[in-house]
Amino acid sequence: MGLGFPADSPLHAFSDDEVAAIFAAGSQRTCTQGERIITEGEPGDSMFFLVDGQAEATLASGKVVRSYGAGSYFGELSFINPGHQRSISIVAKTSARVQVLDQSSIQTLIASHPRAIFTLLRRTCAFLVDAERNLIVDLRRRNTELQEVVTKLEFTRQRLSQEEETARTDGLTGLFNRRGFDAELTNFMARARAIGSGLALIAMDLDHFKPVNDKLGHAAGDFVLRGVGKILLEGVRKSDLPCRVGGDEFIILLADLTETEAQARGDALRLAIGTMPHPGNDDGIRITATMGGTLYRPGETGEELMHRADEALYAAKRAGRNRLGWT
């Protein structure tokens, strides 16, 4: 009887006697095109042999993942393990006839042809082994793909982090630029509020910088700016933040210190800049720095803090430059 099905039919794994016993033990059912033979998620206790017609295994999304022709069978896990939840839906693609084997059918087969039960179990186990092997291969492939995605995401994160760092850094001096300062000021203020520590902001302009550019050229001006940047980087702590926010304009955030300590730090930086060697020295151009500083007052905005430091800076310029004004 099995020979009546296509040569590649799963039923050809059974002998003709076994096929005859299987069909004798069950009952036939006619299905119309589009009819669900098995519904995903429902408990099942029967398996089905496709006598003629075609059927498809579909996911809840409607995606077809497998096709069945005459001589195929499906639902055997529920036949062997009654109550097993169906893992997929089977839909008749054309009009079809199926042989249904329910739990009473298995009792009939055990009595009439136990060999058919053995072959069915062996075929089912082989199917599960193949499915497990395919699952492992698929999981390995997906794991490889996931690892590749993670690697690409990490690369992207690092690249974006580097780009962000570049966007916040002044390329000439290595100090934070205005964008970096604006981003960090809020963090410095929040920390000062949280732990009750002093936070000083010093605004600084270079004196007599324009003559260096005008008389000696921009290369000399860049030399001065790099030198100032080096002094600021080496003259503050890791907890501080020196920034270049304009051509010859700088801002320094000094964390966790008193007003007296902040003034001393500012004066030390000012004196170091005033004695810095640079190309304008031979032409009598002396580079100095004028500063204006203030301490953060809890509750005020960053704009208010900056405004007060700017006022101190302008007052120091009016007083003769090369000094630290404070308010």
Q: Which domains does the chain have, with CATH numbers?
A: 2-126 (2.60.120.10), 178-326 (3.30.70.270)
Reported as a pLDDT band with limits 50, 70 and 90, residue 84 is: confident
Highest mean pLDDT: which range of 74-83, 84-93, 146-155: 84-93
Amino acid at 91: V
Strands 324-326 and 55-58: unpaired
Does 122 or 107 have the greater pLDDT score? 107
pLDDT in tens, 304-325: 999 999 999 999 999 999 999 9
Helix (H) or strand (E) holding 263: helix 259-274
> How many C-beta atoms lie closer than 10 Å to residue 179's C-beta?
15
Structure tokens at 225: 């700016």
> How many C-beta atoms lie closer than 10 Å to residue 195's C-beta?
9
pLDDT in tens, 189-202: 999 998 888 999 99
Closest by Cα among 183, 192, 228 to 208: 228
Burial of 65 (0-12, 13-18, 19+ CB in 10 A): exposed
Contact 223, 279 (CB under 8 A): yes
3-class secondary structure, 199:
strand
The percentage of the chain sitting over the pLDDT mark of 90, rounded to a whole number, equals 46
Helices 16-25 & 103-112 angle (0-180, nearest 10): 140
> How many C-beta atoms lie closer than 10 Å to residue 222's C-beta?
14
Contact 289, 235 (CB under 8 A): no
Residue 116: its pLDDT value, please? 81
Contact 292, 318 (CB under 8 A): no
Q: Among 248, 256, 282, 283, which one carries the catalytic annotation?
A: 248
pLDDT in tens, 134-182: 778 777 887 887 777 677 666 656 655 666 667 889 999 999 999 999 9
pLDDT above 60 for 261 = yes
pLDDT in tens, 184-235: 999 999 999 988 889 999 999 999 888 887 888 888 889 999 999 999 999 9
Closest by Cα among 313, 181, 165, 311 to 252: 181
Instruction: Let me know if 310 is a catalytic residue.
Output: no
Strands, DSSP E only, in 60-161? 64-68, 73-74, 84-85, 89-92, 96-101
Residue 128 CA to residue 123 CA, distance in Å, equals 9
pLDDT above 70 for 8 = no
Global model pTM greater than 0.85? no
Name the DSSP letter for residue 197. -
Residue 107: its pLDDT value, please? 86
Contacting residues for 68 by C-beta, under 8 A, at least 6 apart: 50, 54, 55, 56, 57, 74, 90
